[in-house]
Amino acid sequence: MTYMINSKAEPHKVLCSVITAGLYTDRVDASDHTEILQVSTICMSQGRVVPPHRHVPIERTTLGTQEAWIVVSGQLQVQVFDTDDTFVEQLTLTAGQCMTLFRGGHTFTVLTDDTVIFEIKNGPYYGQQTDMKQIG
């Protein structure tokens, strides 16, 4: 099951979700269809073919930045903060997990040498001065 951390400051808002590779037998969405960043895990059998396709240009208007971290190897200790900058929860991510951050704040500490993650965000990216606010 997808692990969700909900906002206490804004009821009915999800701060982030964590999915783990290999725990599912089908598709599991880590984000609601209304979120800016769409993340899923899909378990597939040998021989499956996804028909050739491309995505048509659709104008989308978004407000905010969301990101996902896929842990390839190693471990991260993550702290999640609410939309009012209060601490909510600490958890450890390990290889094969993906955390999608929808709102609120976060920090992480690398726990093991040779930790590798993929970081994915919606863009464009205008740099730390414009894109980030220090909290805590």
**Residue 121: exposure state from Cβ atoms within 10 A (0-12, 13-18, ≥19):** middle
Rounded CA-CA distance 42/24 in Å is 8
Record the pTM: 0.91
Mean pLDDT, contiguous 10-residue spans, the chain (136 residues): 92 95 87 94 92 95 95 98 97 97 97 97 89 86
Q: What is the pLDDT of residue 1?
A: 63
* Domains assigned to the chain: 3-45+64-122 (2.60.120)
Looking at residue 129, its pLDDT comes to 86
Q: Mean pLDDT in the chain?
A: 94
pLDDT at 15: 98
